[in-house]
Amino acid sequence: MRKINYRKIFLMIADAVIVALSSLVTNAILSLIAIIISGSTMDIAVQPVRIAAIIGMNTMFCFFLLFVMGAYNKAWRTFAKSDYILCGVGAAIGLVLGALFSQFSGHAETLPFFILNLVLTVLFLLLFRALFKRTFIDLINVGLDKSRERTLIVGAGRAAQMIIREVANAASDPNNPSNKIMPVCLVDDDINKINTKVMGIDVVGATKDIPVICKKYDISLILFAIPSCDEDDRKRIMEKCSQSGCRIKTVPYLSQLFLGDNAPGIMSQVKDIRIEDLLGRDPITFDKTKIREFISGKVCMVTGGGGSIGSELVRQIAAYHPKQIIIVDIYENNAYDIQQELYIEYEDRLNLVTLIASVRDYAKMDSIFSEYRPELVFHAAAHKHVPLMETSPAEAVKNNIFGTWNMVMLAEEYSVKKFVMISTDKAVNPTNVMGATKRCCEMIVQYMSQRGCTTEFVTTRFGNVLGSNGSVIPLFRRQIESGKPVTVTHPDIIRYFMTIPEAVSLVLEAGAIAHGGEIFVLDMGDPVKITTLAENLIRMYGKEPYRDVEIRFTGLRPGEKLFEELLMNEEGLKSTENKKIFIGNQIHIDAEKLTSQLNELHEIAERNDNDGTVKMLEKMVDTFHHNVN
């Protein structure tokens, strides 16, 4: 049996009353005016015996036109400006048709009556709808918990159904996370779903309409509920979401989503959007079995273990049951933070040693190797900040190049099984001191591999890491949160980006599959325009770029270039089992020439001769073209 729509019946009755009252009020006003002016009602008013027939005609035609216009199909909370216009037009046409039929039936209206009646009827109908909508929304809101967020769900598929069902089931449990949202509407790009309902919630448009829909329906939270969405569509939709100024949460990828009878609710699995969700690149998967075999039961040393990359290395290594982890870092605050984090996470289940030491101090590092006998060394310690290294080239050389030299010499002496160095895309055709020093480090690692020792030496190279110390994202966040302009060096500057966990997983898998001498390069997808990254981050804060937050272009910094590269032309490229990881062919290193140049560079750097240091780097690295801007 079809459910009775009481809202429609109420609205039709209200419209009938309004049409009748408008006619009566019109006739009363005209009669009063006529009496005041001439003492007669015959000129402009309608004779009382005709008014009932006119009301009947007007009501019938108004009903018909309003029904055709869809005025009775709209929910109060979604009534918009266009709906008011349709109602006004429908009522006006209905009154015109009513007047024509009244004329033919012998119950003609006077022209003044028709005009005033049309104005009053349309005005009263629209005023009633506006007032009732406001009253309806106020009454609904009185019964709602103000902590519930008005939510737009992106996607009208299975995930959306699960979310709506969870919200309905959680109504009686104030502690349930599903009870914190109020689904208002959905969007979907399937045209067959638009203007339908999903468990009583309207599908009101496509994803391209998200910013407009969020404003129209007063949305504060967007739930991205398309776990199987491919990355191109995901990026496009996320950009639309970010333009709305609303908070955004996402349902995990289908491969990461826990489903089944014993699985946690879907709302407990949703997460806040992160800036990396806007990169437009498929999530990278890694061979955990190989990594586990590589790490399990080994003594692992991580230099720079308190830094953004080093600390994530320590976290991931800890998950693979090493025999021992040795954190080496010169900055005690970072080292302490990761130490305490692991103590809380693993308590006494992890054999962890945290040491404050510099890789520049050969004697100290020698004593550490002698005492702990690491089997795997992950060398992440380095000065990485490009502009700062431009002003201190000698320090960059001492730390990056000769710190690496100390480490590889000790790794060979103490028969380390594998030595994995962290490099950067800035080592490719470098234009700055930092990149040139890292290219020298790559040359040192390849030189050691050619020596034929038992240690397998390998380099991993990747681009910028989102959220790492010194990267643009933390800087942008601080600027936005403090109300300052966001500073971008150049409107067209682009960079390759990856997440810290991805970078570290690359390092671990590269170490697992390495045989010595390789430079492992990650396919990082398309480069990202920094200006676009800044605009999206500003929108994620609910602000509008250039209006609420200024983006200021400051000019390229010393040593900085517009485009980064990941692979030198002469290296070539070959694939691995992981389709996202490639290997650059090993370049032959002239051992005698390299060692001689290193000795000369060491003397220059120890004299703190910055100009001489840069000139020597240019001599050692053929592809180094110093850009001083």
Active site residues: 426
Give the residue from 301, 306, 299 showing the smallest Cα distance to 341: 306
Task: Pick left, alpha or beta for residue 106 (phi over 0 → left; psi -120 to 50 → alpha; otherwise beta).
Answer: left
| 167 within 8 A of 179, measured Cβ to Cβ | yes
SS3 category, 155: coil
Cβ neighbours for 168, distance < 8 A, ≥ 6 positions apart:
199
Q: What angle do CA 137, 141, 145 make, to 5 degrees?
A: 160
Could you say which DSSP state residue 541 is in?
T
Number of Cα atoms under 13 Å in the Cβ half of residue 340: 6
Burial class, 119, CB count within 10 angstroms (exposed 0-12 / middle 13-18 / buried 19+): middle
How many alpha carbons lie under 13 Å from residue 429 in its C-beta half-sphere?
11
Beta carbons of 471 and 433 less than 8 angstroms apart: no
- Rounded distance, CA 380 to CA 314, Å? 11
d(CA 330, CA 353): 14
Please, which residues bridge with residue 522 across strands? 581
Q: What angle do CA 470, 474, 478 make, to 5 degrees?
A: 120
Beta bridge partners of 574: 583
Handedness of CA 79, 84, 87, 90 (dihedral sign): negative
**CA-wise closest residue to 565 among 606, 524, 597, 537:** 524
Backbone angles phi, psi at 184, to 5 degrees: -105, -40
Give the length of the chain. 629
- CA dihedral of residues 72, 78, 80, 85 (deg, nearest 10): 0
Question: DSSP class of residue 401?
Answer: I
φ/ψ bin of 218: left (φ > 0), alpha (ψ from -120 to 50), beta (otherwise):
left
Neighbours of 596 (CB within 10 A): 11
Beta bridge partners of 459: 421, 519
In 39-78, which residue ranges form alpha helices assigned H by DSSP? 48-68
Picking from 192, 178, 172, the residue whose alpha carbon sits closest to that of residue 225 is: 178
Is 328 in contact with 378 (CB distance < 8 Å)? no
599: how many CB neighbours lie within 10 A of its CB? 10
Cβ contacts of 316-319, under 8 Å, gap ≥ 24: 316/501, 316/504, 316/505, 316/508, 317/378, 317/508, 318/342, 318/345, 318/346, 318/350, 318/352
Distance, in Å, from the CA atom of 349 to the CA atom of 192, rounded to the nearest integer, reads: 55
The answer to whether the CB of 524 falls within 8 A of the CB of 227 is: no
Q: Which two tokens stand for residue 267?
A: 């709302």
CA of 406: how far to CAs of 358, 473, 511, 600, in Å? 10, 33, 20, 16
Tokens describing residue 95: 């009154």
Report d(CA 600, CA 598) in Å as an integer. 5
